[in-house]
Structure 1
Amino acid sequence: MKVYVGPASRLQGKVRVPPSKNYTSRYIWVSALTEGESIIYDPATNDDAGALLNCCRRLGAKVQASEGRLKICGFGRNPHPPGVLDPGNGGLILRLLLPIGLLLPEVQYVTSYPESLGKRPQGHLLTALRALGAEVEDDNGHLPITIRGGRPITRRTVAVSGRISSQFATALLMIAPLLGGLDLRITEGLVSRPPLATTLQVMAEAGVTPLADWEKLRFTVPAASYQAGVYHVPGDYPAASAIMAAAALVPSSVTLYPLSPADQQGEKQVIPYLRQLGVEVKTEGQEVTIRGGSPLRAVDFNGEEAIDAVLSMAAVACCAAGTTTFSRVANLRWKESDRIGDLARGLRQLGVAITETADGFVITGNPHGYEGGIELDGCQDHRLIMTYAVLALRTQKGLVISGAEHVSKSFPGFFAALEALGATVEVE
């Protein structure tokens, strides 16, 4: 699907941001790992959630979905042999599912997105699973993957690298209670700490509280059982960051909700960052109001703690006076696309001055905006697609974005929200 987004002179209105993708996935998975019946209120209805629910059903969970609610009766320690599991294009979804292979005679993992998820590395997690006794067949750390388990887990300590993703640690921590407990050590540092904090929060809500030594990156999960629970999914700060970026770039008065100020999501850091750039941001309860259109001044962004908002803030940097360095975001290269290389290629087509660095990129902005009138490839990446759509607002001729349907991975209503605020959006 191709979508044209035109230049905008003003945005105004109120946007309900989608439920958190990261919280929804964790609540679904912990509910499936519980033997009782759990209820999730306000779950995300994006592609990742749908793929995980389908896999949970194949593993034996009973799922009832109604408006604004999921009821899940989990399989606990006794998953059904699913044969084949397809996590769609979800990196977190695949990584959550891989350790369930420890409990089953054989599971095959495939993807219908070989050019996206198929290229994302899984080797660090597979090494840990082998250490725990799994037999693993893989394509040099990539899909397709076959895991053979079903044997008693006798090892209680395991290490996994945190250099590429915190999701490897999340996957091992969440399965650990079903294995009789684990002592997990994260090596090579840890990128994106907030998502791992979210994992620990969700586990504690389900009755299992790991001991966490953040300084030594060592986590101990006791032998325990998850308890059925009732969960409420908060609003999604990463998705909200794209709308915030759009509102920052043009004269606007845009309110987003519900966004809890007490949330664990690191992407809420975009609020103080936008203020530094010169954007007027007001927070009241669970509402955030952006009043944009003021001149923007470049401010460097350390994106390590807010990795899923980096591309949205890159769009803002493209129109800020001065040079912005985005640092400590090297792991963006291993997302749905190479979010550094692919972003740089697209922005150069648009006329943006961008340089790739060892751990990020540097953008020299143009406060006057860009000519546009070209088509950019969304690279099957929801964050890249939203970034191009935001930048289109500050072009003279708009932009056509190909593969725009992939925005449904995290924010299915993104283009409708932009249009409701006053942007020109046309499906081609």
Structure 2
Amino acid sequence: MASLTAHPSEALSGTLQVPGDKSISHRALMLGTLAVGRTSISGLLEGEDVLNTAAAMRALGAEITRDVDGLWQVWGRGVGGLREPDDVLDFGNSGTGARLAMGLVAGQAINAVFTGDASLRRRPMARIMRPLEQMGVRFVAREGGRLPLTVSGPQALMPVTYRLPVASAQVKSAILLAGIAAPGKTTVVEPEPTRDHSERILRHFGAAVEVGDGEDGRHVILTGEAELTAAPVNIPADPSSAAFPLVAALLLPGSEITLPAVGMNPLRTGLFRTLREMGAELEEENARREAGEPVADLRVRAGRLQAVTVPAERAPSMIDEYPILAVAAACAEGTTRLEGLAELRVKESDRLAAMARGLQACGVEVEEGRDSLAIHGCGGRPPGGATIEADLDHRIAMSFLVMGLCAERAVSVDDAGPINTSFPGFTEAMGGLGAGLRGDGTT
């Protein structure tokens, strides 16, 4: 366990290349494993979550290497060609890796045992299991559908039309990954659009994916039993990781930073929209596309923020960014209200409770509801001066470290280790911009 302390800082400046998008990194490895031929991946996030997915894909039969220049190569097995792993597949802290891989394995006539760290073993998997069971997949799991669990793919997978009870890109993606091996058309109906990285990268590898709006929601239709062809993938910088230096620069007077090649998928940019509504100065430069994904360089300048109400329907486009938005709200003028946060209860931690608890410890007045949070901003630097229990949650840890940079007194997190799951080198990267982050030297 390694604690880390953020000390009140002055203006940030410079250029920071944020690590590659975690969601796309997982998907690139998985689609490369299902494709025929060699897939070259540049910009892959080399955090623990993605490295665990790479290890799982190797265990399923893919040959995966990393060149000295950071380019990853994946030699795929083809749809239906994965082998039964010799050992348990351990996804560490990654709910995305585990849930998507459950869909991947569901399309193979093999058995695989899934596990993860203490945090992941607490997280529910039943919502992934339900649609896959309708396709003929069998599961043996702990009470509540929790890891460790065994996935047994059928000899003949059936296509399904499944309406998501709640918006979830992970459930949708698991169904689509399974549907690649099913005959006919597999359809997912979304009550609200969620991040569409799976649809984009499936098309990039040659799958037929149609998207249209119906009376009951957004229909995503995949034609199964298609051969996927290896294709190069250039992964953009992760907007969820970019959020931390971005918010820090907005809150520290005099700051100006540039974040190159950030993914600007419109289903992922709810935080940027919200911050602009609060008065943030964010400029997009050099807009372009990489592997079907919109990308731009972000220029960020500090400024005073005003409170807003963030509606529930925006949650799918910024579900991972609420912890850092809460820090921005703590420094804004007025009361910010966040609605539709029920999904945060089942993330790496109960993020809604963790946000409320941590903000209160830093001297910020909050009101926690069942699926909402009201944050009474300080109109400047909050008091700070707390030690936060991150509960193995990388986003809670990074959010409160940003709080420490912008507070009157230092803020510590009890365990910064999980930050490596999504933002390896976070301390050094932020330090390069001028942030005051110091560890206690223990592990």
Given the superposition, is the C-alpha separation of residues 208 and 297 from structure 1 closer, same or farther in structure 2, using an over 3 Å criterion?
Answer: same
Aligned partner (choices 297, 306, 325) of residue 306 of structure 2: 297
Aligned partner (choices 379, 383, 388) of residue 376 of structure 1: 388
- C-alpha displacement at 1:6, in angstroms? 0.1
Is the 8 Å Cα contact of residues 177 and 226 (structure 1) preserved in structure 2? no
Is the 8 Å Cα contact of residues 132 and 158 (structure 1) preserved in structure 2? no
Aligned equivalent of 1:108: 113
Aligned partner (choices 100, 106, 117) of residue 96 of structure 1: 100
| Pairing 1:16-415 to 2, within 5 Å after superposition | 16-66=17-67, 67-76=69-78, 77-82=80-85, 83-99=87-103, 100-111=105-116, 113-114=117-118, 116-139=119-142, 140-153=144-157, 155-159=158-162, 161-163=164-166, 165-186=168-189, 189-190=191-192, 193-195=193-195, 197-215=196-214, 216-223=217-224, 224-251=226-253, 252-259=255-262, 263-264=264-265, 266-285=267-286, 286-292=296-302, 294-302=303-311, 303-304=314-315, 305-415=317-427
Is the 8 Å Cα contact of residues 336 and 375 (structure 2) preserved in structure 1? yes
Is the 8 Å Cα contact of residues 185 and 218 (structure 1) preserved in structure 2? yes
- C-alpha displacement at 1:169, in angstroms? 1.1
User: Matched residue pairs, number?
Assistant: 418
Take 2:13 and 2:167, find their aligned partners in 1: how far apart are those partners?
39
Runs (5+) with no aligned partner, structure 1 = none
Given the superposition, is the C-alpha separation of residues 407 and 135 from structure 1 closer, same or farther in structure 2, using an over 3 Å criterion?
Answer: same
One-letter identity of the residue aligned with 2:90: D
Secondary structure in 2 matching 1:45: coil
Measured against aligned partners, the alpha-carbon deviations of 1:181-225 in whole angstroms (never above 9, x if no partner) come to 4422337x34xx342x21100000000121223433333211311
What is the TM-score with the length of structure 1 in the denominator? Answer: 0.93
- C-alpha displacement at 1:90, in angstroms? 0.8
Runs (5+) with no aligned partner, structure 2 = 287-295
Is the 8 Å Cα contact of residues 178 and 225 (structure 1) preserved in structure 2? no
Secondary structure in 1 matching 2:206: coil
Q: Percent identity?
A: 26
What is the TM-score with the length of structure 2 in the denominator? Answer: 0.90
Secondary structure in 2 matching 1:371: coil
Take 2:19 and 2:355, find their aligned partners in 1: how far apart are those partners?
24
